[in-house]
Amino acid sequence: MRTKAENFVTLDFPSRSSNEGFARTAAACFAAQLDPTLEELNDVKTAVSEAVTNAIVHAYPDTIGKISMKLRLHPDNSLEIVIRDWGVGIADVEQARTPMFTTGGEERAGMGFTIMESFMDTLRLRSVPGKGTTVTMRRKISRRPGAR
């Protein structure tokens, strides 16, 4: 469903592991406009952390590349998060979404997409080998009594 965003921001940053924390904090600060509960905020932060970490580890395994994070607030009180990279891409998207599958070696659990799906309402994944991956997640934030 495409709806016009009420507010949005785009952040571009290099695929350095130190930027994962920045991305999750930036997403949480932006989402705060919707007055989420602490649980909702932690869910958003965890999903962003997984998406950005995937881009850092898998999209650019031997180099530093660009990651873009777009955040949009929609009139239905939902937050849309788009994480994009221009890295190696995913050859088999369905296999990559399978729990416990990883291309990152034995130190990786292979649960990134499963975690993102469990904390967000929707998750879309587009990838083209050699051209990159785009993860689009959306989460509706409950309106609390007395909120705007």
Report the distance separating Cα 114 and Cα 136, nearest Å: 14
* Pairing, β 78-85 against β 132-140: antiparallel
**CA Rg value for the chain:** 15
In sign, the C-alpha dihedral spanning 15, 19, 24, 25 is: negative
Report the distance separating Cα 16 and Cα 71, nearest Å: 20
The catalytic site residues sit at: 50, 54, 108
Report the distance separating Cα 67 and Cα 58, nearest Å: 12
Is residue 90 helix, strand or coil?
coil
Do 141 and 35 form a contact (C-beta atoms < 8 A)? yes
